[in-house]
Amino acid sequence: MSSNPLQGAQFVLAAHRINQLPADEGAEVAFAGRSNAGKSSALNALTGHRGLARTSKTPGRTQQMVAFSLPPIVHGEALPALEARLIDLPGYGYAKVPEALREHWRREIDRYLHERRSLRGVVLIVDIRHPLKEFDRMMLDFCLRTELACHVLLTKADKLSRNQASQALAALRKELPVGTPATVQVFSSAAGTGVEEARSAVMQLLEGNVRTKSLAER
Number of Cβ atoms within 10 Å of the Cβ of 25: 11
Whole-number pLDDT of residue 158: 97
Judge whether 146 and 214 are in contact, CB under 8 Å.
Answer: no
**Angle at CA 35, nearest 5°, toward 30 and 41?**
65
Provide the 3-class DSSP secondary structure of residue 87. strand
Identify the CA nearest to 123 among candidates 27, 4, 28, 211. 28
**Angle at CA 66, nearest 5°, toward 64 and 68?**
175
CA–CA separation, 155 and 48 (whole Å):
17
For 58, 101, 150, 195, the CA distances from 122, given in Å and listed in that order, are: 24, 23, 5, 16
Whole-number pLDDT of residue 1: 42
The 10s digit of each residue's pLDDT in 126-181 is 999 999 988 899 999 999 988 899 999 999 999 999 999 999 999 999 988 777 87
Number of Cβ atoms within 10 Å of the Cβ of 210: 9
Whole-number pLDDT of residue 95: 54
For 29, 71, 138, 148, the CA distances from 133, given in Å and listed in that order, are: 22, 34, 9, 20
The residues with which 72 forms a beta bridge, in sequence order, are: none
Overall pTM surpassing 0.75 (yes/no): yes
Question: Which CATH superfamily hosts domain 10-217?
Answer: P-loop containing nucleotide triphosphate hydrolases (3.40.50.300)
Q: Domain locations in the chain? A: 10-217
Q: How many helices (H) and strands (E) does the chain have?
A: 5, 7
CA–CA separation, 39 and 188 (whole Å):
11
Q: 57: burial class by Cβ within 10 Å (0-12, 13-18, 19+)? A: exposed
The tens place of each residue's pLDDT in the chain, 218 residues long, gives: 458 999 999 999 999 999 999 999 999 999 999 888 999 999 999 999 988 887 655 444 457 899 999 999 887 677 788 899 999 998 876 556 678 888 888 899 999 999 999 999 999 999 999 999 888 999 999 999 888 999 999 999 999 999 999 999 999 999 887 778 799 999 999 999 999 999 999 999 999 876 544 454 54
Helix (H) or strand (E) holding 70: strand 65-73
